[in-house]
């Protein structure tokens, strides 16, 4: 990892922004929209080396999956599900019907569940049963009627057993063996095998993220949840080994993750880098970790006010604060997808069992939203009811506004009623 002394925070943060190639993804989407299932088979063969006959996972496949997982893994899935359910249910109970009455005009707002959603679960270099939990559980609590899971198969054309078990435990309605940008296109437009959905949620690599962006004019999406991001703000009170291990834990996702340390301590910076260099040769997934940290990782040395400013400019997916007073720093950080306070709140734990959702905004979208939640699966349904007397009370103001906007027929439509 390179060590940098940051002097101009804004220009440095700007240099770290990511871009993705939309042209290739756009061609994939267009072909799926045109050819449906045949395009999906073509792309599964091209990208995954899989010849797919039936996309939908059968009940027998789900039943057989339980034979390939351990009781401890099943219990871990159930515990993660229960903890997230507790968090999301607490939020759902606060979303009550709102009614107002102003001069006889009654307005009602309710939180109505979406009809259908597609949950993308990544595959490839790792398996992610936890992402099944994070997307399906809040959808279920919201009351979504039909939940579709799509996830890439392995080279044998099969879905990881633990992913299938997680989807079954969380009560997904249907599961399909397809991944990548073409899976996103299938959910957006629908094919003979895969139904069109009202909204697509879930994390993915750069192609999946680009595909979600490109289909967002056809179907709703949750956010751009691309390759993992972790920033750590630390001072000289932080344990360099813990800092290093946290950076490594997120770097192992893929070679395009972005992990950094922002510190006031030059001593900490060099200790962290030194420990990482020594431990990498002993790691599992060492090639991925090494490439990720070498290509995208950095250590920024600056004063604390600039550290906070840099973190707010980067708006990372995860922000760990490992300082003497983490809450004081947290109060000044407003843009991270998830803030993790103190020495004993590693992002690796939040990926599984802390009760928070690990589907988070990346690429600086933490400036405008937080983690996936029950809110993503609800729409605010508004209804309004007026009376002739209510219209009479606002008659002259309606006339004034309609004339000001040169839309006289707006007022005529009201005038006829009164």
pLDDT mean across residues, the chain: 95
Question: Which member of 85, 88, 252, 317 is catalytic?
Answer: 317
Tens-place pLDDT, residues 387-408: 999 999 999 999 999 999 999 9
Token pair listed for 231? 């920033």
Alpha helix locations (H) across 66-145? 71-92, 129-142
- Examine the pLDDT at 108 and tell me if it is beyond 70: yes
Q: What is the pLDDT of residue 144?
A: 98
Question: 195, 223, 251: which is the final residue of a domain?
Answer: 223
Tens-place pLDDT, residues 128-138: 999 999 999 99
- Examine the pLDDT at 76 and tell me if it is beyond 80: yes
Q: What is the pLDDT of residue 20?
A: 65
The verdict on residue 70 lying in a domain is yes
Picking from 391, 381, 372, 413, the residue whose alpha carbon sits closest to that of residue 131 is 372
- Examine the pLDDT at 178 and tell me if it is beyond 90: yes
Q: How many domains does the chain have?
A: 3
The CATH number of whichever domain residue 245 belongs to comes to 3.40.50.1980
For β-strands 229-234 and 220-221, DSSP reports them as unpaired
Same structural domain, 186 and 335: no
Percent of the chain with pLDDT over 90: 87
Token pair listed for 273? 């880098």
Tens-place pLDDT, residues 3-59: 888 878 888 887 777 666 688 999 999 999 999 999 999 999 998 888 888 999 999
Alpha helix locations (H) across 93-239? 129-142, 161-169, 180-189, 206-215
| 3-class SS of residue 322 | strand
Is 252 a residue of the active site? no
CA-to-CA dists, residue 126 to 152, 285, 314, angstroms: 11, 10, 26
- For residues 338 and 129, what is the distance between their CA atoms, to the nearest angstrom? 20
Question: Which member of 182, 253, 318, 358 is catalytic?
Answer: 318
97 within 8 A of 106, measured Cβ to Cβ: no
Residue 46 gets which letter from DSSP? Answer: I
- Examine the pLDDT at 153 and tell me if it is beyond 70: yes
Using the structure block, give the residue that is written with the tokens 């599992």: 284
- For residues 311 and 317, what is the distance between their CA atoms, to the nearest angstrom? 11
- Number of neighbours of residue 205 by Cβ within 10 angstroms: 20
Res. 123 pLDDT band, cuts 50 70 90: confident
Question: 180, 201, 223: which is the final residue of a domain?
Answer: 223
Sheet containing 174-177: order of strands: 174-177, 146-151, 116-120, 199-201, 220-221
Same structural domain, 318 and 251: yes
Same structural domain, 302 and 201: no
Question: 182, 204, 223: which is the final residue of a domain?
Answer: 223
Same structural domain, 14 and 41: no
- Domain span holding position 163: 22-223
Same structural domain, 185 and 232: no
- For residues 243 and 32, what is the distance between their CA atoms, to the nearest angstrom? 44
159 within 8 A of 176, measured Cβ to Cβ: no
Res. 124 pLDDT band, cuts 50 70 90: low
Res. 231 pLDDT band, cuts 50 70 90: very high
Same structural domain, 58 and 201: yes
Please write down the HEC assignment for all residues of 155-169.
CCCCCCHHHHHHHHH
Res. 226 pLDDT band, cuts 50 70 90: confident
164 within 8 A of 61, measured Cβ to Cβ: yes
- For residues 117 and 359, what is the distance between their CA atoms, to the nearest angstrom? 15
- For residues 130 and 135, what is the distance between their CA atoms, to the nearest angstrom? 9
- Examine the pLDDT at 126 and tell me if it is beyond 70: no
The verdict on residue 373 lying in a domain is no
329 within 8 A of 341, measured Cβ to Cβ: no
The mean-pLDDT minimum among 123-132, 168-177, 276-285 falls in 123-132
110 within 8 A of 381, measured Cβ to Cβ: yes
Same structural domain, 211 and 62: yes
Is 318 a residue of the active site? yes
The verdict on residue 316 lying in a domain is yes
Q: What is the pLDDT of residue 125?
A: 61
């Amino acid at each position: 990892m390179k060590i940098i002394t940051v002097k101009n925070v804004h220009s440095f943060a700007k240099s770290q922004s990511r871009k993705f190639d939309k042209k290739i993804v756009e061609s994939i989407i267009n072909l799926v929209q045109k050819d449906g299932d045949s395009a999906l088979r073509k792309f599964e063969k091209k990208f995954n080396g899989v010849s797919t006959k039936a996309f939908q996972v059968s009940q027998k496949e789900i039943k057989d999956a339980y034979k390939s997982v351990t009781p401890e893994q099943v219990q871990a899935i159930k515990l993660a599900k229960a903890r997230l359910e507790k968090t999301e249910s607490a939020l759902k109970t606060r979303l009550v019907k709102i009614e107002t009455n102003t001069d006889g005009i009654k307005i009602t707002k309710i939180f109505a569940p979406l009809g259908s959603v597609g949950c993308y679960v990544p595959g490839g270099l790792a398996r992610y049963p936890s992402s099944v939990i994070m997307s399906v559980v809040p959808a279920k609590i919201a009351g979504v009627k039909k939940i579709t899971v799509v996830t890439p198969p392995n080279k044998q054309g099969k879905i990881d057993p633990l992913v299938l078990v997680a989807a079954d435990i969380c009560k997904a309605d249907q599961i399909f063996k397809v991944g990548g940008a073409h899976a996103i296109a299938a959910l957006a437009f629908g094919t003979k095998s895969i139904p069109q959905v009202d909204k697509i949620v879930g994390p993915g690599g750069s192609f999946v993220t680009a595909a979600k962006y490109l289909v967002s004019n056809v179907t709703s999406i949750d956010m751009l949840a691309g390759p993992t991001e972790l920033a750590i703000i630390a001072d000289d009170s932080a344990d360099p080994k813990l800092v290093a291990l946290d950076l490594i834990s997120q770097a192992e996702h893929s070679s395009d993750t972005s992990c950094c340390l922002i510190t006031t301590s030059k001593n900490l910076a060099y200790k962290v880098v030194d420990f990482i260099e020594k431990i990498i040769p002993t790691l599992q997934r060492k090639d991925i970790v090494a490439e990720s940290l070498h290509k995208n990782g950095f250590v920024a040395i600056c004063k604390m006010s600039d550290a906070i400013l840099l973190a707010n400019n980067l708006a990372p997916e995860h922000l760990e604060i490992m300082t003497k007073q983490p809450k004081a720093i947290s109060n000044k950080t407003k843009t991270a997808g998830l803030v993790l306070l103190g020495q004993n709140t590693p992002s690796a734990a939040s990926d599984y069992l802390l009760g928070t959702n690990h589907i988070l905004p990346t690429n600086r979208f933490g400036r405008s939203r937080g983690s996936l939640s029950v809110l993503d699966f609800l729409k605010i349904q508004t209804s309004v009811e007026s009376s002739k007397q209510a219209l009479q009370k606002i008659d002259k103001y309606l006339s004034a506004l309609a004339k000001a906007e040169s839309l006289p027929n707006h007022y005529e439509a009201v005038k006829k009623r009164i």
